[in-house]
Structure 1
Amino acid sequence: MSFRKISGFILALGLAVTPIAAQAESDNYTFLKAVRDHDTTQITTLVDRQPSIIDSKDYNTGDTALHLTTRGRDNAWLAYFLYKRARVDAKNKAGQTPLMVATQIGWADGAQLLLEGGADPNITDNSGQTPLIIAVQNRNLQMVRLLVDNHADPSIKDHIAGRSALDYAGQDGRSSAIVKILDTAQPIVKKPMMGPVLRR
């Protein structure tokens, strides 16, 4: 249910709607609409006035400006939002990051920009899929190579079938070239968080 509908019900009950909350909702909607419309003046005005608005999420999908710009394959706006420090690994309601969207649509230039902006190639969506699993399933050799070059881990298993990128590539007879690339992967192993050492 949208904030407008909720506000209408509250007003019908004779109660006051919080002006700050209403303004925030309005600004978020205006900003994301400006992103969809490529409205340069509106976007830059809102971001300069309220930098945090750059991470606004669509009420229905959870998409941010980075998700929308990636879907639109817009290099210029993607670079702008990254420069303005948009959350590069923000997830929508499906658990997808902008990098996953770029991988899904096969946009290598966008994926490269996102990776250069600090995107995590090993983050998972709600199904446990990584960008690399998506690239393998799409048999996108260029994307697989790009992700592997940026330390994507081919051993991470999804929640759907309990399979990894390497598993999916191995079961597809047409993906021998992809398997060879996956075999060269050198994922970065994150060190476990260590707590304080208690000395007796």
Structure 2
Amino acid sequence: MCKNKIYILLTDTGTLFTRMIKLYTKAPYNHASVAFDHHLIEVYSFGRKTPRNPFIGGFVKENLRAHYFKQARCAIYSCDVTTEQLERMQQFIHKIDRQKHLYSYNLLGLFAITIKKRFIRKNAFFCSQFVATLLQECGIVNYTKEPFFMTPQDLIKSEKFQLVYQGDLENYYKHQDMIVENERQLVM
């Protein structure tokens, strides 16, 4: 059985919106994304569609080298998945991407967590709800909490996740760039 890796990225961008969330969660990271490669090129989540406005959100393919993530702190976790699980995840993502106009950010659901109330909206997710749904629907993790109660920290509580890196996101990329450059020089 072929093993592949996926990555869960938890971030803190330091924006006003994430600082407000942090007041409630008391957690170091308050945004969750899923990536299909260790270079973090294919990274997906539900979040801001425009960096300056946290209230306009939906399904996003995140560019982690963009200004919005420049000062971000992060924790990156890996998880082994089978080829079948990886393909199911990619199909799930591509289906949402093709129909992204039908999806929205579940801001009300995010606030419902604070009062421990179930609030489900069709085709609406907040970041950790999306990642938890993806992981459960594709048979990777079975969480005890329902996805609409999941926080970013809840996502990585499974023994399936291994910490790969923790620190400034920019430093992770510098490290990855050095690895790529070293590999390139070895080939020459």
Q: Into which bin does the TM-score normalised by the smaller protein fall?
A: under 0.3
Larger radius of gyration: 1
More strand by share: 2
More helix by share: 1
Q: Which has the higher contact order (CA 8 A, sep 6+)?
A: 2
- TM-score calculated relative to the size of structure 2: 0.21
- TM-score calculated relative to the size of structure 1: 0.20
